[in-house]
Structure 1
Amino acid sequence: MIGLRPSASAFRQAYSGCTGRVRVPVSASGPASGRFLAARVQVSAPFSTVSLAYDLHEPAKPVADKQTSPIIFMHGLFGSKKNNRTISKVLARDLRRHVYAVDLRNHGDSPHDHRHDYPAMAADVADFIRQHGLKEPTLIGHSMPAHSNHPPKTRGAKTAMALALHEPDLVANLIAVDNAPVDARLGSDFGWYIQGMKKIDEAGVTRQAEADEILAPYESSVAIRQFLLGNLHRPSAASKTQQFRVPLPILARALDHLGDFPFKSPAEVRFAKPALFVRGTQSKYVPDEVIPLIGQFFPMFELVDVDAGHWVISEKPEAFREAVIRFLEPKE
């Protein structure tokens, strides 16, 4: 393995009993040598992992059992396993591999927890791999769509990259969709969305059309509003009102630090296994100037450009499918 990585205890110690900006001491050796620098967290005790909900997409004629070389698909903020259902089924069919589409913590059917950051999400996925006995999985991560003027704030891709760098022995390879291992300047869109979503919860809506009317002043894009409203549900069979299944207060507190990437020094932590970065050429989230940094963190990376915006998978599903298949098919 190239470079050093922080231990699981270092991840926990970095946040234990801290409020505000945390800087982990960096040395040439020792548990904090991966330069894990966190941004604005609010926790009072070491974090624990949660058991992730998932959908398993099984191929008709698998090349191996469901534990061997599966794909783990991760969504971003306000997403869920259902967002990746179609492409997961396609990849399961074409690659004849099992695909696990997971709900990350505080999303979908997975448990809620007061902590929501990349180390915690990566640790959840690592535990998922161990709990299910998965061998040499492929990680695929993408973010939720964001307003065209601002970058997305939380990314399945950053969770995947953080896990690959922290525990490379657990992972066979990585696919990051329109994202890079860098800190991002955050816009205000998601805080604005949460305000609108809180208004919906307070209104006690019974129909999605009512919720959409409340959310419209907060977001003009119908597609993004539909995406956000996909988180509405009826808490019980007897309930007439709809509420958001995501814990809005927890996610609101997490927004300040979800733009940061937890690893800062590629000289000290690398993922020396194959990695594919799929970039939308009409998107601004993987500019040419960050490509050298990608190569430092992921020295065996490949870059594929797709003529699309940030919504690479939904805009150009066939181009994305072809890129993934070329990357994952056995090389002669």
Structure 2
Amino acid sequence: MYNRLARIGSTSVRSPLCSGWAKLRYGNIQNMAEIPSSGITLLYSGLNSTATSGSRYSTKTRTDNVEYNKMLAEYQKRVEQYEPATLDSLEFNSSSADSNLPPIIAIHGLYGSKLNWRGLMRRINKTLDRTIVAVDLRNHGSSQHMGPHNYFAMTKDILHFIEQKKWDKVVLMGHSMGGKVSMITSLLYPELVSSVIVEDMTPSFSELSQDFINYLTGLEEIHNHPERITNLRQADELFHKYEPNDKTVRQFILTNLRLNDEGVLKLRLGSKYIREGMDDVRGWPLPPPTFVPSTPHQQKDPLYETMPEPSKIINSGSIGSNASDNLQSQLIFEYNKPSLLVCGSRSTHINGAGVAKFKKMFVNSSIVELDTGHW
């Protein structure tokens, strides 16, 4: 997904969610006819907000719905109870000292790091002259290792990072686990987020395969190996049994190893905290919950009874009347500023119920598919 977004190709389109003409750089879009209406240009325009006061969307606010405000305050307390972790970051600054465009914060997924974003960051910075910063989430990369590893704690980390930077507003761009952090931050603190881009993740339960646990076990084996593992060739040989089929995935996971002062590869993940928080990483902590019906320890979600496939929702722009009625009957958080969901057409992390929830919660949103998988 990171590489696909950074690949070169260009055209000019006019998007209703962007002011004027925007330069679009894209990968292999599955349906080229969808480009003008999809809002993919938002990815490279920094999602300049076009939402105005008196929005046509019936979004609940802190002042017009007592029940909604009470729910919002309750969930903000859940975020603010946590001690923030110190986050390391990589930054490309705008050359315009007087630029009033909000900076973009890029947030990686599970087992990722700020370095995943380098190619895309350079392109956005060069093309748009925008400040863009990628962070290492807690227990990843060079950031602080501490528990717990859950979405409320990670949201608190992002809020603390924004506060340290003294930024009034930001654009959030998150992949996978980082996409959930971006969505939660946007929904609970909309005054801080001018727009949001979510890559291959929806506000729903995520079915993580046993592979994700195996990857952590493999990295820990290398970290604790009695022999000195001093290069990635040795590490790849040891890790091969945990991912025998996909060399690209192995290379990605092994980026979590770094040479220490003695020249030995050691793990940069807070593996203890990640392992303890894996159920939280799978989940979605805001109402209403969406569960995968094949998961035995979770209740089957009625949305799945009538939900179209994600591609049908994306192409038609509709989630169907039954699903809409189901969601309409529940009090949910909403975000009414420009939002973009980028789905991988070959990804297993996106399902119809999740896309439906995204459209319902992010009411001023566009959705686009790229011909790629989750990574």
Contact 1:142 1:157 in 2 (8 A): yes
Q: Which residue of 1 aligns with 2:23?
A: none
Of the candidates 83, 93, 113, which is equivalent to residue 58 of structure 1? 93
Give unpaired runs (5+ residues) of structure 2: 1-57, 289-329
Counterpart Cα distance in 2 of 1:290 and 1:47:
27
Counterpart Cα distance in 1 of 2:140 and 2:113:
6
- After TM superposition, give the deviation of residue 235 of structure 1 in Å: 3.0
Of the candidates 212, 217, 222, which is equivalent to residue 241 of structure 2? 217
Q: Which residue of 1 aligns with 2:27?
A: none
Contact 1:174 1:275 in 2 (8 A): yes
1:279 has 2:343 as partner: yes
Counterpart Cα distance in 1 of 2:127 and 2:248:
28
Counterpart Cα distance in 1 of 2:92 and 2:346:
31
State the Cα deviation string for residues 159-217 of structure 1 (Å, max 9, x = none).
Answer: 10011011111100000011111112232111111111111112141222111111100
- Matched pairs, number: 268
Contact 1:68 1:135 in 2 (8 A): no
Q: Which residue of 2 aligns with 1:94?
A: 127
Cα 1:226–1:55 shift into 2, 3 Å: same
What is the letter of the counterpart of residue 282 of structure 2?
Answer: G
Counterpart Cα distance in 2 of 1:211 and 1:29:
51
What is the letter of the counterpart of residue 256 of structure 1?
Answer: D
Q: Which residue of 1 aligns with 2:367?
A: 303
Of the candidates 204, 228, 232, which is equivalent to residue 182 of structure 1? 204
Of the candidates 11, 28, 49, which is equivalent to residue 67 of structure 2? 28
State the Cα deviation string for residues 261-297 of structure 1 (Å, max 9, x = none).
Answer: 1112373311111100111222233334433321211
Q: Which residue of 2 aligns with 1:196?
A: 218
State the Cα deviation string for residues 70-94 of structure 1 (Å, max 9, x = none).
Answer: 1100101111111101101101111
Q: Which residue of 1 aligns with 2:104?
A: 71
TM norm structure 2: 0.66
1:1-332 correspondence runs (5 A) = 2-3=59-60, 28=67, 31-32=70-71, 46-59=81-94, 61-62=95-96, 64-65=98-99, 68-143=101-176, 155-203=177-225, 204-220=228-244, 221-236=246-261, 239-265=262-288, 267-311=331-375
Contact 2:60 2:68 in 1 (8 A): no
- After TM superposition, give the deviation of residue 138 of structure 1 in Å: 0.8
Please identify the structure whose Cα radius of gyration is greater: 2
* Sequence identity percentage: 30
Contact 2:207 2:349 in 1 (8 A): no
Give unpaired runs (5+ residues) of structure 1: 6-26, 37-44, 144-154, 312-332
Counterpart Cα distance in 2 of 1:96 and 1:174:
18
Counterpart Cα distance in 1 of 2:69 and 2:366:
31
What is the letter of the counterpart of residue 255 of structure 1?
Answer: M
- After TM superposition, give the deviation of residue 222 of structure 1 in Å: 1.2
Counterpart Cα distance in 2 of 1:226 and 1:290:
29
- After TM superposition, give the deviation of residue 306 of structure 1 in Å: 1.8
Contact 2:346 2:372 in 1 (8 A): yes
Counterpart Cα distance in 2 of 1:191 and 1:167:
32
Contact 2:207 2:282 in 1 (8 A): yes
- After TM superposition, give the deviation of residue 245 of structure 1 in Å: 1.2
- After TM superposition, give the deviation of residue 33 of structure 1 in Å: 5.1
SS at match of 1:310: coil
Measured on the aligned residues, the alpha-carbon RMSD in Å equals 2.5
SS at match of 1:28: helix
